[in-house]
A and B are shown apart, each in its own frame.
Chain A
Amino acid sequence: MNDVMGLIFANIYDSSLGSLTQKRTQASLPYGGRYRQIDFPLSNMSDAGIRHIGIVTQYNFQSLMNHVGSGEEWDLKLADCGLEFITPYSMGASNDFRGKLDAIYTARKSHLKRAKEEYVVLADATVVCSIDLKEVINTHIRSGKDVTVVVKRGVADGKRQLDLAVRTDREGEVTDLTADYAAPEDYLASMGIFVIRKDFLIQSAEECVARNRFRFEREFILQDWLDGKLSVGAFEFHNVALFNESPEEFFFNNLALIRRVVRHDLFREGLTIYTRIRDQVPCYYGENSEINDCIVADGCVLNGAASNSVLFRGVKISNGASVKNCVVMANSEIGIGAQLEYCILDKDVKVKAGTKIIGTMEHPTIVNRGEVV
């Protein structure tokens, strides 16, 4: 896939994730014990042989840059292109990106036009999935459509607001498009992954921004399709796709990994999810540990009990502590006899001995990064 470059948008749902994205981009939100959300689009692209990837981000990107580094873990540390960060002020823009189109427009000269690739795959970091992008790209090229969007059935329910949803006929041809709408069940939700010819993308961005249209889905895809100027193909994805657009979804989707079908789908043979290496010791399970149905990363020291939980790297659970239905992020420590249920502990939290925090499945209690409770 030498003729395809990738663009990943890192900040799309920051505002809907509350305190979880207070000091990080949505893309750098931890997932599944050892990952960040961006690991999924980045690895999917790398697995497809894409070797030139731009990460579009505009604020809170320190943790993202730390995580991605030179892109070495994704085989993107290359002499000529590799990995680039695309930020508004680094290119002389005088304002924030007003939408994906604005970002593409701003980066068109510095990054896109210079790039030798013919196609672009665009992706958000909101949907966790393992997808064979080669298949998507080849389908797109064969179809002759202007743009192909990857869609998922079963997400639209008439309640959930979707950036972009499509309805297709039996042959898979798009018969309707909606934007920012709680589309009914017979619509397929966009997974935020698009394939498009690079020159066409640049030209479209220029034309849209010239008319104050900045929003990719609504003001480019939907509008040009309605005006008959754009042909849109839908690629239906049949594997697991987890939409992380709210703290509740984030919680639910982390715990989903405990289900074998989800775990074995996201980490299936042939597609590898890479992440930043941390040299941590294998997890130690103490004499009194009772660990049931948990996802456990390296570096944990478990002396207490945990069930139905995701334990990130370096989590410590002391004797007599009990952790149920929780997402515990890296290096958080749970003191002797503490009791946690339905909680999200952000990184570096210290739970004092005997503390009891009980949330609910619908509204897990969030303890912010570094807090001592």
Chain B
Amino acid sequence: MNFQKKHCVAMLLAGGQGSRLLVLTENTAKPAVPFGGKYRIIDFPLSNCVNSGIDTVGILTQYQPLELNEYIGNGQPWGLNRSHGGVQILPPYVRSKKSEWYRGTANAIYQNIPFIERYDPDYVLVLSGDHIYRMDYAKMIRFHKQQDSDVTIAVRRVPMEEASRFGIMNTNPDGSIYEFEEKPKHPKSDQASMGIYVFKWSILKKFLVEDEEDPDSDNDFGKNVIPAILNAGHKLYAYNFEGYWKDVGTIASLWEANMDLLDPEPKFDLYGDGRATIFARNYALPASYIDSHSKSINCLIAEGCEIYGSLRHSVVSTGCTVSKDSVIEDSVIMPNVFIEGGVIIRNAIVGENCVIRSGAVIGGAFRQDEERQIAVIGKDHTIEINQVVKPGEVI
């Protein structure tokens, strides 16, 4: 088949196990975890691609891919059901000589060199499937071209005292990177990598092949490939991003990112300026019903809900019922949860399809000076009548 050239192909790394999300990723790949009432985490990078004019996206999956595959489908919700390009799920597969799982982020892309080559791209954008942010990649690619860069890495400023937790880019005044330090003990800069890379395809391909031939390599972008390209004397630039960005790899950060959607001036405004829409697969549910017994304050409530109880500072996802005399505060209720009457939920994440029977108490309140501990109920659980789930408990 004759494939037309694509300017840029995006490769989205969605294979991570996400073990720090505990029960929420027991049967679900991290990018498929629900977020923000009606979204899944992967909707954010995927929508960013579409809004940046990138119409060819490979999604690299390997851990619990079923739900993610079904969610992505033919890519229609994101306008990625293209006759040329569009979205492709790329699981590891059996090759004629050998078959193997993806051994690392770099190996995952390496194994899909044939996919990328079909589009003969100038640039390859490498993304993570577990970050919440809105970004115009086209601007970053323009910057990459202007600098005639070989690799451009998106960075954001982090507080200096936290810098030792991140991959830190040390740059010259012109933004070019002279050193990359993974979790440095004594950081020299506050520019943390966001795991978003633009590569010249010719350079990336060369180093992927070399990395593959190195038996000592962990086949990881941050650890192996980027340092190798840097050491070979190529041009690497840091691209400063100033908007909201959050890695939702832990229970605490997933909860926080959901809370960041609330308040009159939210830290992350899902509405945006009306142009960069976050797309999601929508299900056929009626509009929500809010009863006169309910009191909902500073909340996001998606469609298909029936709310008779009281909600404060919470995110309630599609298809949930909250019955009379139930109270939900500072919590995230994932899709299709049924909550009976007289339930109290505070500082908790309740997974998809859970049933919370009457009188149950989940989580608890915290003083301002206390460290919040988020109670988590995994998918498909039933919490029995009057059952108590302690603050921070994981079920």
Which of A's residues lie within 8 Å of B, judged by CB? 32-35, 43, 72-73, 257-258, 260, 263, 266-267, 272-275, 277, 279, 281-287, 289-298, 301, 303, 307, 310-312
Between-chain CB contacts (< 8 Å), 24 pairs: A35-B286, A73-B284, A263-B289, A272-B284, A279-B277, A281-B38, A281-B300, A282-B38, A282-B317, A283-B288, A285-B297, A286-B264, A289-B297, A292-B292, A293-B291, A293-B292, A295-B286, A295-B287, A296-B287, A296-B288, A296-B301, A297-B303, A298-B303, A310-B287
Cα(A272)–Cα(B284), bound, Å: 7
Binary contact readout B281-298 vs A (1 if CB under 8 angstroms, 0 otherwise) = 010101111111011111
Determine if B296 and A285 form an interchain contact, defined as CB atoms under 8 angstroms apart: yes
Whether A279 contacts B279 in the complex (CB less than 8 A), given A286-B297, A289-B297, comes out as: yes
Q: Answer yes or no: B228 CB below 8 A from chain A CBs.
A: no
Determine if B291 and A289 form an interchain contact, defined as CB atoms under 8 angstroms apart: no
The interface residues of chain A lying within 8 Å CB-to-CB of B289 are 257-258, 260, 263, 294-296
The interface residues of chain B lying within 8 Å CB-to-CB of A277 are 77, 282
Determine if B303 and A282 form an interchain contact, defined as CB atoms under 8 angstroms apart: yes
List which B55-101 residues lie within 8 A (CB) of chain A: 76-77
Q: Which of B270, B286, B298 contacts A287 (CB 8 A)?
A: B298
Q: Answer yes or no: B299 CB below 8 A from chain A CBs.
A: yes
Q: Answer yes or no: B167 CB below 8 A from chain A CBs.
A: no
Determine if A283 and B292 form an interchain contact, defined as CB atoms under 8 angstroms apart: no
Determine if A279 and B278 form an interchain contact, defined as CB atoms under 8 angstroms apart: yes
Interface centre among A257, A281, A303, A312 (most CB of B within 10 A): A281
The interface residues of chain B lying within 8 Å CB-to-CB of A286 are 264, 297-298
Q: Answer yes or no: B271 CB below 8 A from chain A CBs.
A: yes
The interface residues of chain B lying within 8 Å CB-to-CB of A266 are 286
Smallest CB gap from B293: residue in A: A292
Q: Answer yes or no: B45 CB below 8 A from chain A CBs.
A: no
Q: Taking the nearest CB of chain B, how far is it from the CB of A325, in angstroms? A: 13
The interface residues of chain A lying within 8 Å CB-to-CB of B291 are 292-293
The interface residues of chain A lying within 8 Å CB-to-CB of B351 are none
The interface residues of chain A lying within 8 Å CB-to-CB of B37 are 281-282
Cα(A34)–Cα(B282), bound, Å: 13
Cα(A296)–Cα(B291), bound, Å: 11
List which B230-286 residues lie within 8 A (CB) of chain A: 262, 264, 270-271, 277-280, 282, 284, 286
List which B149-173 residues lie within 8 A (CB) of chain A: none
Cα(A72)–Cα(B311), bound, Å: 36
Smallest CB gap from A258: residue in B: B289
The interface residues of chain A lying within 8 Å CB-to-CB of B282 are 277, 279
Q: Taking the nearest CB of chain B, how far is it from the CB of A201, in angstroms? A: 31
Cα(A33)–Cα(B289), bound, Å: 10
Cα(A360)–Cα(B182), bound, Å: 68
Smallest CB gap from B78: residue in A: A279
Smallest CB gap from B303: residue in A: A298
The interface residues of chain A lying within 8 Å CB-to-CB of B279 are 279
Determine if A291 and B290 form an interchain contact, defined as CB atoms under 8 angstroms apart: yes
Q: Taking the nearest CB of chain B, how far is it from the CB of A166, in angstroms? A: 31
Which of B's residues lie within 8 Å of A, judged by CB? 36-38, 76-77, 262, 264, 270-271, 277-280, 282, 284, 286-292, 294-303, 311, 315-317
Cα(A307)–Cα(B302), bound, Å: 19
Q: Taking the nearest CB of chain A, how far is it from the CB of B299, in angstroms? A: 5
Q: Taking the nearest CB of chain B, how far is it from the CB of A235, in angstroms? A: 25
Cα(A296)–Cα(B297), bound, Å: 15
The interface residues of chain B lying within 8 Å CB-to-CB of A284 are 262, 299-300
- For the residues of B in contact with A, the DSSP-based class is loop
Cα(A245)–Cα(B288), bound, Å: 25
Whether A289 contacts B286 in the complex (CB less than 8 A), given A282-B301, A282-B302, comes out as: no
The interface residues of chain B lying within 8 Å CB-to-CB of A274 are 284
Cα(A301)–Cα(B266), bound, Å: 13
Cα(A310)–Cα(B288), bound, Å: 10
The interface residues of chain A lying within 8 Å CB-to-CB of B284 are 43, 73, 272-275
Q: Taking the nearest CB of chain B, how far is it from the CB of A319, in angstroms? A: 10
Determine if A282 and B290 form an interchain contact, defined as CB atoms under 8 angstroms apart: no
Q: Which of B76, B77, B286, B299 contacts A267 (CB 8 A)?
A: B286
List 16 additional A-B contacts (Cβ < 8 Å) besides A287-B297, A292-B290: A43-B284, A263-B289, A267-B286, A274-B284, A279-B282, A282-B300, A282-B317, A284-B262, A284-B300, A286-B264, A286-B297, A292-B292, A293-B290, A294-B289, A297-B288, A298-B302
The interface residues of chain A lying within 8 Å CB-to-CB of B270 are 281-282
Q: Taking the nearest CB of chain A, how far is it from the CB of B120, in angstroms? A: 31
Smallest CB gap from B262: residue in A: A284
The 9 closest A-B pairs by CB, nearest first: A33-B287, A282-B37, A282-B302, A292-B292, A297-B287, A281-B270, A285-B296, A282-B300, A277-B282
Whether A283 contacts B301 in the complex (CB less than 8 A), given A273-B286, A291-B290, comes out as: yes
Determine if A285 and B301 form an interchain contact, defined as CB atoms under 8 angstroms apart: yes
Determine if A72 and B296 form an interchain contact, defined as CB atoms under 8 angstroms apart: no
Q: Taking the nearest CB of chain A, how far is it from the CB of B292, in angstroms? A: 4
Smallest CB gap from A72: residue in B: B76
Determine if B298 and A285 form an interchain contact, defined as CB atoms under 8 angstroms apart: yes
Interface centre among A35, A283, A285 (most CB of B within 10 A): A285
The interface residues of chain A lying within 8 Å CB-to-CB of B287 are 32-34, 295-298, 310-312
Q: Which of B286, B297, B302 contacts A263 (CB 8 A)?
A: B286
The interface residues of chain B lying within 8 Å CB-to-CB of A267 are 286
Q: Taking the nearest CB of chain A, how far is it from the CB of B25, in angstroms? A: 23
Interface centre among B286, B287, B290, B295 (most CB of A within 10 A): B287
Cα(A275)–Cα(B285), bound, Å: 9
The interface residues of chain A lying within 8 Å CB-to-CB of B316 are 282
Smallest CB gap from A273: residue in B: B284
Q: Which of B280, B298, B302 contacts A279 (CB 8 A)?
A: B280
The interface residues of chain B lying within 8 Å CB-to-CB of A281 are 37-38, 270-271, 278, 300
Cα(A286)–Cα(B298), bound, Å: 5
Smallest CB gap from B302: residue in A: A282
Determine if B38 and A296 form an interchain contact, defined as CB atoms under 8 angstroms apart: no
Cα(A266)–Cα(B285), bound, Å: 11
Interface centre among A35, A282, A303, A307 (most CB of B within 10 A): A282
The interface residues of chain A lying within 8 Å CB-to-CB of B271 are 281, 301
The interface residues of chain A lying within 8 Å CB-to-CB of B300 are 281-285
Q: Taking the nearest CB of chain A, how far is it from the CB of B314, in angstroms? A: 10
Cα(A258)–Cα(B289), bound, Å: 7
Q: Taking the nearest CB of chain B, how far is it from the CB of A35, in angstroms? A: 8
The interface residues of chain B lying within 8 Å CB-to-CB of A258 are 289
Determine if A285 and B299 form an interchain contact, defined as CB atoms under 8 angstroms apart: yes
Q: Taking the nearest CB of chain A, how far is it from the CB of B293, in angstroms? A: 8
Determine if A295 and B288 form an interchain contact, defined as CB atoms under 8 angstroms apart: yes
The interface residues of chain B lying within 8 Å CB-to-CB of A296 are 287-290, 301
The interface residues of chain B lying within 8 Å CB-to-CB of A311 are 287
Smallest CB gap from B47: residue in A: A279
Interface centre among A290, A296, A307 (most CB of B within 10 A): A296
Q: Taking the nearest CB of chain A, how far is it from the CB of B341, in angstroms? A: 15
